[in-house]
Amino acid sequence: MSVIYDSQTGQYSLHTKNYSYIMQEKRGFLLHLYWGKKIMGDCSYMYRMQLRAAFSPMMEDAEGPILDDAPMEYPCWGRADMRTPALEITNPDGSIIVDPRVVGRRIQKGKPQIKGLPAVYCENDSECETLVVELYDEVSNIAVELYYCVLEDYDIITRYAKIINKGVSTVHLDRAASAAVDFDNIKYDIISNFGTHARERHIERSALNHSRFVMSSRRGASSHVHNPFLIMTSKNADEESGEAYGFVLVYSGSFTAEVEGNQYDTARAVIGLNPESFGWELDPNEEFTTPECVMTYSAEGLDKLSNNFHKIFSNRLARGKYRDVRRPVLLNSWEACYFDFDSERLIKIGDACADLGVELMVIDDGWFGKRDDDKRSLGDWFINEKKLPGGIKRISDHLAAKGVKLGIWFEPEMISPDSELYKAHPDWCLHYANRPRSLGRYQCILDLTRQDVCDYIYESVAKILREGGISYVKWDFNRNWSEAGSAMLPANRQKEVDFRFYLGLYSILERLNQEFPDVLFESCSGGGGRFDAGLLYYMPQIWTSDNTDAIERLKIQYGSSLVYPLSCMSAHISAVPNHQTDHVTSFDTRFTVALTGSFGYELDPTKLCEEEQNKVKETANLYKKYGEVLLKGDYHRLRDPHAEDCSAWCTVSADKSVCIAGYVNTHVKLYPNNDRVTIRGLDENATYKEIFSGNTYTGQQLMNFGMHIYENLEYRSHLWIFERV
């Protein structure tokens, strides 16, 4: 049993395969006792009753707990806990207190669905046990249900909260976090991420101190800047040892992930919707459910933590036909042609794809409306017959005859002021009537809080897909928010726009998933500007970054791998000099780096010399052969590009029979490079043959001594594929 409630002691124990999460009820408060390596039995002695904490108010009867010091499971604002809360409300009388106490609990098999929101799922009820702790505030008439879903075999606990208004007047929600965890000391490092367009998810590590550490987005998207995950580790933790705690929010809009180091040397992590861009009018008898937070713990360092997230996200968050199959080798037209194409050029590229073994050609931006540059036509989702006479169908029929599938690009949440759609519906974008509308990439954002707008988007995309011939959709989102008001919502609900927008988006995506189960959807937002677990539920792969430079990708892919699986990371070989950085890297290095995700090309195959064409054939075949390993294998970061002038990693198949390992030197070493890379995750007792050299090694040798690095020049790489013999 993974959930145990002891009515004698008031203890709640959640057990996964390798860890325990333990809570205690005291005077109706739900307190946190322990999260770490597995512990069974009565843990009530772990509750520390403080009798005095100067300047921190006592309860009215001077009995404990002292709220400003107690480890609260879902801290609520307004009484005596001064730390970062999870829940804040404004009552109808203007008071800002909410003080719910435990009134009951339910333990149920399986995992409930969260209506309208993406979430981890299970395939049968035996995979998960759910604890719901029921709390109630008699003054506010607010009920709070805390959900803890324990997926024992995955070492995962997911959390979310449901807030229910049982009173007769509307209550205003000011903050409703998904999860909070109190730690009884402050000795942690925080592993966070930062980025910008074309430089996403770089990693930073800092010591937690007595202050508030905040990663967040108010951009109406999870964003390039901070990704909605947070990792805390013990001071000594590295890839293979030490404790690591991870939180990932399954949501694509504005969020916050905070850790507060407190005056009494304790720490509190809170993750959820960003209260700075959130508000919700909760009417009587209505309920509000937060997005889900996925949590895991590892006593064996970051490697294990990452693999726990990889497994749950690729097996029980991603859905649909493509979840379990190697993704097609694709070629995207963006860096090949940008807007400069017509049917003839696309057909030539498609023919080259067929010759080279590429399985899917994607027509990126520029096939619709009058879209010859990025200044117009978003919203006008009809084929530009001038550029593409005979439509998409003509191209897809041509390609199908040669065994190549076709994909197309959409940016459905946007509207160009220079478009037919804007002329017809100038009020359909997010805006405030009395304010100018800022443009981002010459475009505005449609108001997805409106049902008519959602229906238009759905129908525009569905109409094209219904015509047939399209197996893949790249779904883009190329700006962040400004003046995010809705013409349809009343004044007191304008702060609901952020969350309502995503309810709208998720409902469109759900409908499309249902109607087009055979279409592979890839999410994109100027590369990785919405690289989040929310979208992964609807689209099993995401364009990792607009930066296709192999060297720049090292840090981006390293950072992404902390929580996201390779199966969702799209990685393509692009042309040199690289269009973003002007770097020139060898084809081999570009392949080594791109062979860490859903693989493809971002170049014009008709412009390749014979040697390069052969390389495309060879690399496409290698991906076809080993793509399954990337989809399902265990991923190990071997060398950190933030800390060293190199990066190295490997992916090992579940049965340890195949290992793909890569190394890239990022800075010239004038003298011989005496470095070597040790591999992880192999079978120590097996013998492996490296397929390019034909040399054999034992698992022990590879894991303890490793492979010599001979490359000393900048941007040179090694790719090894080991097969058990």
The set of catalytic residues is: 476, 546
Q: Which helix (H) or strand (E) holds 368?
A: none
Q: Does 527 bind ligand GLA (CB under 6 A)?
A: yes
Interacting positions 333-352 with ligand GLA (CB under 6 A): 334
Q: Does 195 bind ligand GLA (CB under 6 A)?
A: no
**H-assigned helices in 161-235:** none
Instruction: Give the integer Cα–Cα distance in Å for 100 and 30.
Output: 10
Measured at the CA of 593, the angle between CA 323 and CA 683, to 5 degrees, comes to: 70
Question: Least CB distance from residue 560 to ligand GLA, whole Å?
Answer: 15
Question: Least CB distance from residue 552 to ligand GLA, whole Å?
Answer: 14
Candidates 240-248, 323-331, 521-529, 532-540 — which segment interacts with ligand GLA by CB under 6 A?
521-529
Q: Does 546 bind ligand GLA (CB under 6 A)?
A: yes
Cβ proximity to ligand GLA: between 419 and 478 the closer is 478
The three-state secondary structure class of 627 is helix
**Nearest CA among 463, 359, 336 for reference residue 410:** 463
Instruction: Give the integer Cα–Cα distance in Å for 47 and 66.
Output: 12
What is the b/e burial string over 540-563, where b = at least 16 CB atoms within 10 angstroms of the residue's CB?
A: bbbbbbbbbbbbbbbbbbbbbbbb
Half-sphere exposure (Cβ direction) of 701: Cα atoms closer than 13 Å: 12
Residue identified by tokens 């009884």 is 184
Question: Least CB distance from residue 599 to ligand GLA, whole Å?
Answer: 16
The three-state secondary structure class of 525 is strand
Please give the single-letter amino acid code of residue 461. Answer: V
Q: Does 365 bind ligand GLA (CB under 6 A)?
A: yes
Strands 405-410 and 360-363: parallel
Cβ proximity to ligand GLA: between 478 and 567 the closer is 478
Instruction: Give the integer Cα–Cα distance in Å for 422 and 446.
Output: 10
Cβ proximity to ligand GLA: between 23 and 444 the closer is 444
**H-assigned helices in 570-698:** 587-594, 610-632
Is there a cis peptide before residue 85, judged by omega within 30 degrees of 0? no
| Of the residues 118, 228, 253, 526, which one makes contact with ligand GLA according to CB under 6 A | 526
| 571 and 553 Cβ atoms separated by less than 8 Å | yes
Cβ proximity to ligand GLA: between 217 and 478 the closer is 478
Please give the single-letter amino acid code of residue 275. Answer: P
| Of the residues 20, 478, 523, 567, which one makes contact with ligand GLA according to CB under 6 A | 478
Cβ proximity to ligand GLA: between 334 and 635 the closer is 334
Candidates 26-34, 524-532, 620-628, 700-708 — which segment interacts with ligand GLA by CB under 6 A?
524-532
Half-sphere exposure (Cβ direction) of 581: Cα atoms closer than 13 Å: 14
CA separation, residue 576 to residues 21, 262, 335, 591, 613 (Å): 51, 51, 11, 13, 14
Question: Least CB distance from residue 410 to ligand GLA, whole Å?
Answer: 10
Q: Kindly state the DSSP code that residue 367 receives in the 8-state scheme.
A: S
Cβ proximity to ligand GLA: between 13 and 416 the closer is 416
Residue with smallest beta-carbon separation from ligand GLA: 365
Q: Does 145 bind ligand GLA (CB under 6 A)?
A: no
| Of the residues 121, 313, 409, 422, which one makes contact with ligand GLA according to CB under 6 A | 409
| 611 and 356 Cβ atoms separated by less than 8 Å | no
Cβ proximity to ligand GLA: between 192 and 570 the closer is 570
Residue 261 burial by Cβ neighbours in a 10 Å radius (0-12, 13-18, 19+):
buried
Instruction: Write phi, then psi, for 129 (nearest 5 degrees).
Output: -125, 140
The three-state secondary structure class of 591 is helix
Question: Least CB distance from residue 580 to ligand GLA, whole Å?
Answer: 11
Question: Least CB distance from residue 480 to ligand GLA, whole Å?
Answer: 13
Cβ proximity to ligand GLA: between 69 and 364 the closer is 364
Cβ proximity to ligand GLA: between 182 and 365 the closer is 365
Question: Least CB distance from residue 516 to ligand GLA, whole Å?
Answer: 20
Task: Tell me, residue by residue from 308 to 337, as one string, x for binding to ligand GLA by CB under 6 A and - for no binding.
Answer: --------------------------x---
Cβ proximity to ligand GLA: between 496 and 549 the closer is 549
Q: Which two tokens stand for residue 682?
A: 């192999």
| 79 and 67 Cβ atoms separated by less than 8 Å | yes
Q: Kindly state the DSSP code that residue 388 receives in the 8-state scheme.
A: S
Question: Least CB distance from residue 197 to ligand GLA, whole Å?
Answer: 8
Q: Does 722 bind ligand GLA (CB under 6 A)?
A: no
Q: Does 522 bind ligand GLA (CB under 6 A)?
A: no
Cβ proximity to ligand GLA: between 602 and 675 the closer is 602
Instruction: Give the integer Cα–Cα distance in Å for 593 and 328.
Output: 18
Cβ proximity to ligand GLA: between 133 and 221 the closer is 221
**Nearest CA among 68, 22, 16 for reference residue 47:** 22
Question: Least CB distance from residue 37 to ligand GLA, whole Å?
Answer: 42
| Of the residues 260, 476, 532, 604, which one makes contact with ligand GLA according to CB under 6 A | 476
Q: Does 19 bind ligand GLA (CB under 6 A)?
A: no
Interacting positions 369-388 with ligand GLA (CB under 6 A): 374
Question: Least CB distance from residue 365 to ligand GLA, whole Å?
Answer: 3
Concatenate the DSSP letters of all residues of 628-658 into one string.
Answer: HHHHHSEEEEEE-TTTSSEEEEEEE-TTSSE
Interacting positions 631-690 with ligand GLA (CB under 6 A): none
Cβ proximity to ligand GLA: between 229 and 409 the closer is 409
For 622, residues 6+ apart whose C-beta sits below 8 A from its C-beta are 591, 595, 721
Candidates 121-129, 346-354, 445-453, 523-531 — which segment interacts with ligand GLA by CB under 6 A?
523-531
Compute the radius of gyration of the chain from its Cα atoms: 26
Candidates 44-52, 119-127, 234-242, 520-528 — which segment interacts with ligand GLA by CB under 6 A?
520-528
**H-assigned helices in 640-710:** 699-704
Q: Does 422 bind ligand GLA (CB under 6 A)?
A: no
**Nearest CA among 284, 287, 269 for reference residue 177:** 269
**Nearest CA among 446, 444, 454 for reference residue 486:** 446
Question: Least CB distance from residue 478 to ligand GLA, whole Å?
Answer: 5
Candidates 168-176, 428-436, 519-527, 564-572 — which segment interacts with ligand GLA by CB under 6 A?
519-527
| Of the residues 364, 498, 532, 711, which one makes contact with ligand GLA according to CB under 6 A | 364
Q: Does 543 bind ligand GLA (CB under 6 A)?
A: yes
Question: Least CB distance from residue 677 to ligand GLA, whole Å?
Answer: 32
**Nearest CA among 121, 114, 131, 185 for reference residue 15:** 131
Instruction: Give the integer Cα–Cα distance in Å for 522 and 577.
Output: 26
| Of the residues 66, 318, 383, 524, which one makes contact with ligand GLA according to CB under 6 A | 524
Question: Least CB distance from residue 475 to ligand GLA, whole Å?
Answer: 10
Query: Which residues lie near ligand GLA (CB under 6 A)?
Result: 334, 364-365, 374, 409, 476, 478, 524, 526-527, 543, 546
